[in-house]
Structure 1
Amino acid sequence: MLRSMYSGIAGMKGFQTQLDVVGNNIANVNTVGYKKSRTTFQDMMSQTTSGASEPTNIRGGINAIQVGLGSQLGSIDNIHTQGNRQTTNRVLDMALEGDGMFIFANGVNAPTDPTVLNHPIDLGAVNLEYSRAGNMYLDSNGYIVNANGQYLVGDNNAAGNAGLIRIPENAASFSIQGNGTVNYIDPNGQTQVAGQIRLAKFSNPGGLEKIGGNMFRASVNDGMMSNDVAGLPDLIVPESDGTASIVSGALEMSNVDLAEEFTDMITAQRGFQANTRIITTSDEILQELVNLKR
């Protein structure tokens, strides 16, 4: 069987995967905090017909003769560049300008008593997820949560410990500062601090795993800044240690560039068509070999 036929099959599989990735990027062009993906390819092992030979006194060296056997998927990279900022003028919409991610907790037994404002949590006893999507909300108990109902992790006792951030039900208004401090106006007109939003930072954010719902999960290759043996994230204050500043009243949108995606889509489509042509041509050659008997 012709090697070109199998090379064509390998090429078609690769370009099909690239089209899948491009399609997902385009589908999420307006998704808050979405980070685009990129496909790379590698050549497969080559079949060596003749090995290389070194030069001698009477003859020069000869290069190896190899026939490639197609391509394969090299990687699908998550590109964590800054997305465009969209102004919303909504206090609970927060955009991150710089490095870092919001921290969210699942499995928290949050108190419903309205008089309990400070609620510390044990990061090792909850499931942590991370996101750049800053569209936050208040639940019926006054806690700041995301669109999935996961609690935003911060520091609510000024001691550097993890905790939930809660706005009292009798607060006249509240605001969020660039360093993550959440202030509210009490019934007496005095400014009080409800807590401070903390961020997680990763030296290799591309190593995070997408799990849907605008969320990421930590992996062994994300380079999380952590001083804990259990691999728990450091609660970094925004605008410190090179982390992002929080912009209230705005959202970070997707970093997908439609012009780039359309170009990649056309390239992948033409590459897929060319590989199908290779299979067709190889089949015609095989048909000619069969017809030699007639």
Structure 2
Amino acid sequence: MLRSLYSGITGMRVNQTKMDVIGNNISNVGTTAFKVSRARFQDMISQQVTAATGPMANQGGINPSQVGLGVQLAGIDTVVKQGMMIPTSRNLDVAVDGEGYIMVAKGPKSFDDTKFAVTDHAVTASTDTELLYTRDGSFTLDSEGNLLTSDGYRVMGYSINGSIDADGNLVFADASGVITADEGNLKTLRIPDVVVDGNVELRVRSFSISKEGVISAVLEDGRVSALGQIAMVAFKNPAGLSKMGKNLFQQSVNSGDPVLRSGVGSPDDNSKGYGDMLQGMLEGSNVDLAEQFTDMIVTSRSFQAAGKMITTGDEILQDIINLKR
């Protein structure tokens, strides 16, 4: 049999996979914070026809003669470059401008101090919870005021000056004028209707989110209280994160461990290595349609060429068979 037949099969197979990747990229051109993927190829093992020889007294060296046996998929990479910022003017929309991922959790509420312990910018979660990561900052609130993703995952962060008590109630946090995050534990965040100042309940009129992720509430008497700080993490190899769907990522064995951004007022500040949180904006997809359509044309022609290779090989075999009449 002709080796070109099997080479054509491998060419059709990898170009089918590449077309699947391109199709997924194009379908997600409007997905918030989507990261484009690319398929890479590599040649398969080559069969040696003649071996290489070294130079001799009367004759020079000869290169090896090899016949390639086709192509195979080398990998599907995630390109984590920044997407464009899209203004939304919605106060619960947050875009990450730069490095970093927002932490979200699935599991019981964690207003107590036992769900997520933090040591040296590393987090340890309890067994009944699950930590995931996202750059989609289109947040919502539930009936209790908990800060959530659009799929109900709870946004994680730090309390400010102990502003979240064990029952989940917010207490007035800025009486001293100094804002310090409680970095010892991650907690679910809440934007309440009222804030307790001693025995007095003060209604929250509005809130804002700073570039550091600090959520500040304007109270009915005009004072400002910090409600908490949205936590952010970075990875040594963010392209190694596993895509879980719903704009969520999960840590993998090759992504590295998540490194937490330090909270405001921390003596061990590492926040300069992280991006800013921009309120009223969302990060768009980083898909380049012109590039994807060009890749689609090349991939389609490559698939056709591989199919033509099989057709031509079939014609050669037919000619060989017809030698015997």
Q: What TM-score, normalized by structure 2, do the two folds share? A: 0.83
CA contact (8 A) 1:121 1:163 kept: no
Of 106, 114, 122, the match for 2:115: 122
Contact 1:131 1:216 in 2 (8 A): yes
Q: Which residue of 2 aligns with 1:185?
A: 218
Q: Which of 259, 279, 298 in structure 2 is aligned with 1:267?
A: 298
Matched with 1:16 is 16
Residue in 2 that maps onto 1:114 = none
Matching residue's letter, 1:168: P
Q: CA deviation at 1:135?
A: 0.5
Residue-by-residue CA offset, 1:129-164 (whole Å, 9 max, x unaligned): 001111001111101100110000100132112011
Query: After the TM superposition, which parts of structure 1 deviate over 4 Å for at least 4 consecutive aligned residues?
Result: 118-121
Paired position in structure 2 for 1:159: 182
Kindly tell me: are residues 74 and 236 of structure 1, through their superposed partners in 2, closer, same or farther at Cα, counting changes over 3 Å?
farther
Aligned-residue sequence identity (percent) comes to 45
The structure with the largest strand share of the pair is: 2
Instruction: Confirm or deny: 8 A CA contact 2:261 2:271 kept in the other structure.
Output: no
**1:230-245 matched pairs, under 5 angstroms:** 234-237=260-263, 240-245=271-276
Q: For 1:248 and 1:241, how far apart are their aligned partners in 2?
A: 19
The whole-number CA distance in structure 1 between the counterparts of 2:147 and 2:26 is: 30
Q: 2:170 matched to which residue of 1?
A: none
Contact 1:26 1:256 in 2 (8 A): yes
Residue 148 to residue 88, structure 1, CA distance change in 2 (3 Å):
same
Cα RMSD for the two superposed structures: 1.4
Provide Cα deviations, 1:235-263, integer angstroms capped at 9, x if missing partner: 44498141010000000010000000001
User: Please, which runs of 5 or more residues in structure 2 have no aligned partner?
Assistant: 117-124, 163-180, 195-203, 265-269
Q: Which amino acid aligns with 1:127?
A: E
Matched, 1:210 2:210: no
Aligned-partner Cα distance in 1 for 2:114–2:133 = 16
Number of matched pairs: 280
- Tell me the secondary structure at the aligned position of residue 23 of structure 1: helix
Cα contact 2:214–2:228 (8 A) shared by 1: yes
Counterpart contact for 1:236–1:243, Cα < 8 Å: no
Gapped regions of structure 1 (runs ≥ 5)? 111-117, 227-233
- What is the CA-CA distance between 1:185 and the residue it aligns to? 1.8
- State the secondary structure of the residue aligned to 2:317: helix
Task: Report what 1:246 is aligned to.
Answer: 277
- Greater shift, 281-290 or 182-191, is seen at 182-191
Task: Give the letter aligned to residue 65 of structure 1.
Answer: S
Deviations, residues 261-284 of structure 1 (Å, cap 9, x unaligned): 001100100000000000000000
Q: How far off its partner does 1:198 sit?
A: 1.1
Summarize the alignment of residues 104-143 of structure 1 with structure 2, pairs less than 5 Å apart: 104-109=104-109, 119-120=112-113, 122-123=115-116, 124-125=125-126, 126-143=129-146
Shift of 1:119: 4.9
1:84-103 Cα shifts (integer Å, max 9, x gaps): 10000111100111000000
Q: Is residue 181–residue 196 contact of structure 1 (8 Å, CA) maintained in 2?
A: yes
Tell me the residue number matched to 2:173: none
C-alpha deviation, 1:109, in angstroms: 3.1
What is the CA deviation profile of residues 150-182 of structure 1, one whole-angstrom value per residue up to 9, with x for unaligned ones? 000100132112011111123211100001000
Aligned 8 A contact 1:175 1:184 in 2: yes
The letter for the 1-side match of 2:59 is R
In 1, Cα distance between equivalents of 2:112 and 2:140: 18
* Paired residue secondary structure (2:273): coil
TM-score norm. by structure 1 comes to: 0.92
